[in-house]
Structure 1
Amino acid sequence: MAKNFYNPNSAPYYDPKTDRRVVFITGGNSGIGWFTILHLYLHGYVVYIAGRTESKVLTAIDEIKQEAEKRTTAAGDEALKRPLGELSYLHIDLLDLSSVDEAAKQFASKEKKLHVLINNAGLMGVPYELTKDKYEVQYQVNYVSHFLLSLKLLPQLQAVVDEGKVQPRVVTLASVGHNFAFKHFAPSDTINKNPNVIYTWVRYGQAKTANIQFASEFAKKYPDILSVSVHPGIILGTELYNYWKKLPVIGWIFKGSSWFLDKSIGVSNEEGATASLKLAMDPSVTAAEDNGKYYSTGGVEDTASKIARDPEFAKLTWDWNLEQLNERGFHLKG
């Protein structure tokens, strides 16, 4: 790992039989989520991996366990003595808010406490589309579904607060792409404009801006729970770019430019995961000192755009989405 990246090996190790630390993460069968789960598993965390396709997540679980075995064997006797964590699958479809609600219920039936929630899954740069819940697709997958999930899992997060041993954490994946939102867009604005090749990125920026606003507003409302947002880095080896890579003509251009960016400023999936891992595992990051902050590649504290860090815009985004979800029957207090 490059020395300017957080080293997850420096984090504490736990024995799930004596110190059960529970994580809920969306996505994770590939990309940075895969490596985030790998390191959590190596550190003894009990990880619930929420994804849409069971077969993909179960395959990822097998692969993560195999990789963990290789790494502990290679690291020697001390590593072999450390207990590994647990990995389990939960179904969630971020395109369907009723599925998000059900995933929270399923988790609550299995665990009374949640130590770390990682809002990891995302969608990027796709054509304009409304979901069955009547949200623009990138806005729902990246933001609304995670907003709903986080509030539905509040009882399990609060149980950790009440226990008083550690602070629970909510880590929300944002992106430097939030800067594509070049002005404040009302949460109700789906930005259905042409050309798509431009405005798909504006819509992405709107969603990722909302992620940053969510983290800061959540921190204000629940100060005993660490809530942060993070840009993991420019990562070209991820499924997020699949739509653009498959397009005729543009796909070839995109692949060529991606290769150049990857070689010049890109980071690997594992390097990208280090930011999430720092915020999930590092004891030096606390709610008292760091709540609501925005971080970048490697876990370095950073400054989001003026729009994303505007407290009035953050409150407006929170209040409007809370109202919309309650109108849809999700009964949130927030």
Structure 2
Amino acid sequence: MPDRSKFYDPTNAPYYNPSVERRVVLITGGNTGIGWYTVLHLYLHGYVIYMAGRTKSKVLKAFEDIKKEAATRILSEKAEEKYHVGELHYIYIDLLDLSSVTKAADEFQQQEQRLDILINNAGVMGVPYQITKDDYELQYQVNFVAHFLFTCKLIPSLLKVAQDGQLPRIVVLSSIGHNFEFKHYKPEQHKLKGFPDSVYTWIRYGIAKTADIHFVKELSKKYPEILSLAVHPGIVLGTELYNHWRQIPVVKYGSNALFGISNKLIGVTNEEGCLSTLRAALDPKLTLENNGIYIATGGVVEKPSRIASNEKYCKETWDWNVEELNKRGFNVEDDR
């Protein structure tokens, strides 16, 4: 069982009045699961939040629910004077279409001069083999490449915060599932396919989540004035990431039984799952000395796998993806 006594307490983080000190967050996904609670807490801390998602109606519904829950928490704690809730804004993005990723970055930069915190939260897990219109394996694109591109386009907005003497942050959701990359695969091998796909999908997931950690470690070197952190939220069975396995005929019965047992033994709630992200985003005790670290369940710092930690592999992941994105016309600058 997770040691909840060590879990990060977000109420210890600073609170802001957005009319006095505007702190801006951009998060992908966030209308359900871990992301929903991440946004809730950031909203309660007074952050101006932009949620980038594909379905506007779902995002707007999430905003309504977050505002209602925030009001309940404020009243229950009788802390009206302490809290100055933030703002909630929507930006369209489709991580399966890289052209929409650059447009989303452009739209944000047209509305905001600077970005304090970028949270690459959205993802998929264990889905069937599929190649996207941008010619990447689906999990690799959604979990990694789209966020790689998004982040690179937003670096100037983050650097403006550093130029103002404050600490910008990039938070990338990886997973303990990065260990499914049990041996090193070169980035060009991310389209790995084999039988049965129910096994290989998890290896592909591990490749993508390992790439997320590689990305963070390279960011920490290339942009040492930005605090870049990878996080593992924990085993969160309440998230939609498991929906595919809950619905497969016949298999779903075994999957649901396994998920139920796992949830009781090692699982955490959606709100507990967001604590690693919140620590990475909010904890003032984290400084540039912590750049590139991996924060696991509840906000506890851990060491990722040998493959994820390998500096040569980190550079390999960065260089190959910059080259591939440039081939596709996305003009990712790599001048540091």
Q: TM-score range by the shorter chain?
A: over 0.9
Give 3-state SS (helix, strand or coil) of 1:47's partner: strand
Q: Report what 2:145 is aligned to.
A: 144
Quote the Cα distance in structure 1 between the aligned partners of 2:81 and 2:243: 38
Q: Report what 2:309 is aligned to.
A: 309
- The aligned amino acid for 1:18 is V
Q: Report what 1:272 is aligned to.
A: 273
63, 66, 69: which one pairs with 1:64? 66
Q: CA deviation at 1:3?
A: 2.7
Matched-pair contact (CA < 8 Å) for 1:73–1:80: no
Q: Report what 1:153 is aligned to.
A: 154
1:6 aligns with 2:8: yes
Q: TM-score, normalized by length of structure 2?
A: 0.97
Matched-pair contact (CA < 8 Å) for 1:72–1:80: no
1:333 aligns with 2:333: yes
Quote the Cα distance in structure 2 between the aligned partners of 1:273 and 1:68: 16
Q: CA deviation at 1:81?
A: 4.4
Cα deviation 1:243-290 (Å, max 9, x = unaligned)? 000001111100001000001100000000011001101110011x10
1:120 aligns with 2:111: no
Quote the Cα distance in structure 2 between the aligned partners of 1:286 and 1:35: 24
Q: Report what 2:29 is aligned to.
A: 27
Give 3-state SS (helix, strand or coil) of 1:6's partner: coil
Quote the Cα distance in structure 1 between the aligned partners of 2:38 and 2:91: 17
Quote the Cα distance in structure 1 between the aligned partners of 2:23 and 2:101: 22
Q: Report what 1:37 is aligned to.
A: 39
Q: Report what 1:249 is aligned to.
A: 250
Quote the Cα distance in structure 2 between the aligned partners of 1:73 and 1:184: 51
Cα deviation 1:150-201 (Å, max 9, x = unaligned)? 000011001101111x110000000000000011111111101111110000
Matched-pair contact (CA < 8 Å) for 1:236–1:258: yes
* 1:204-219 aligned within 5 A: 204-219=205-220
Quote the Cα distance in structure 2 between the aligned partners of 1:81 and 1:177: 39
Give 3-state SS (helix, strand or coil) of 1:34's partner: helix
> After TM superposition, which residue ranges in structure 1, 4 or more long, deviate above 3 angstroms?
none
Cα RMSD, aligned residues only: 1.0
- The aligned amino acid for 1:329 is G
For structure 2, list consecutive stretches of 5 or more residues without a partner in the other structure. Answer: none
Give 3-state SS (helix, strand or coil) of 1:171's partner: strand
The number of residue pairs the alignment matches comes to: 331
Q: CA deviation at 1:80?
A: 4.5
- The aligned amino acid for 1:210 is A
* 1:65-214 aligned within 5 A: 65-76=67-78, 78-164=79-165, 166-189=166-189, 190-214=191-215
Quote the Cα distance in structure 2 between the aligned partners of 1:17 and 1:159: 19
Quote the Cα distance in structure 2 between the aligned partners of 1:206 and 1:8: 31
Q: Report what 2:53 is aligned to.
A: 51
Of residues 180-189 and 63-72 in structure 1, the stretch that sits farther from structure 2 once superposed is 180-189
Matched-pair contact (CA < 8 Å) for 2:128–2:197: yes
For structure 1, list consecutive stretches of 5 or more residues without a partner in the other structure. Answer: none
Q: CA deviation at 1:2?
A: 3.8
Give 3-state SS (helix, strand or coil) of 1:254's partner: helix
Quote the Cα distance in structure 1 between the aligned partners of 2:6 and 2:60: 33
Quote the Cα distance in structure 2 between the aligned partners of 1:80 and 1:15: 11
Quote the Cα distance in structure 2 between the aligned partners of 1:197 and 1:80: 52
Matched-pair contact (CA < 8 Å) for 2:4–2:298: no
Quote the Cα distance in structure 2 between the aligned partners of 1:321 and 1:158: 22
Quote the Cα distance in structure 2 between the aligned partners of 1:82 and 1:177: 37
- The aligned amino acid for 1:141 is V
Q: TM-score, normalized by length of structure 1?
A: 0.98
* 1:285-300 aligned within 5 A: 285-287=286-288, 289-300=289-300
Give 3-state SS (helix, strand or coil) of 2:104's partner: helix
Quote the Cα distance in structure 1 between the aligned partners of 2:67 and 2:195: 45
Q: Report what 2:18 is aligned to.
A: 16
* 1:224-235 aligned within 5 A: 224-235=225-236
- The aligned amino acid for 1:195 is P
